[in-house]
Amino acid sequence: MPSDDLYEVFDDLREEFRHKTQREFLAEIHELLESRPTLQSILSKRRRNPTHMAVTFDRRVNDAVFSYGYFDILLVVLDRLSGGSGIYKPVHQVRVLRWNASDAELLAILRAVAPRFPQTDYRRLLVMKFDMSSLQGHRIDRKIHRR
């Protein structure tokens, strides 16, 4: 991903988040992604037809610092860097984002970034391809959860 695109995405997101701690979190993610060429090469991949990936995660037992909201922010960043317009949350504990690389590469990015922050240091994490067109369920939420 060209660094101009990276800056543009983070500048847009910083304007959307009003809380200082959230903007600081975005700045730390930006710095981390910018400093790791391996992560940049994953983020620079482009597909003709991006896929959707489902991500589900568990926090550590009795972890008062973990924040599902901050994990959502991390996923919004990755979604936006892949050209998405926001993450979906069809049911609790499942987030869906647009993604241009493989599921293994999404897992690699999440494993490299999330444990570095106490708010996103998960216990377990599952990433899988998700077909939005064949979504079946009862009372699932089809709207964008967070932009």
Model pTM?
A: 0.90
Domain boundaries, the chain: 3-146
- Model pLDDT for residues 31-75, shown as the tens digit of each residue: 999 999 999 999 988 888 889 999 999 999 999 999 999 999 999
Residue 134 contacts by C-beta under 8 Å, 6 or more apart in sequence? Answer: none
CA triplet 147, 28, 106: central angle to 5 degrees? Answer: 60
- Model pLDDT for residues 125-134, shown as the tens digit of each residue: 999 999 988 8
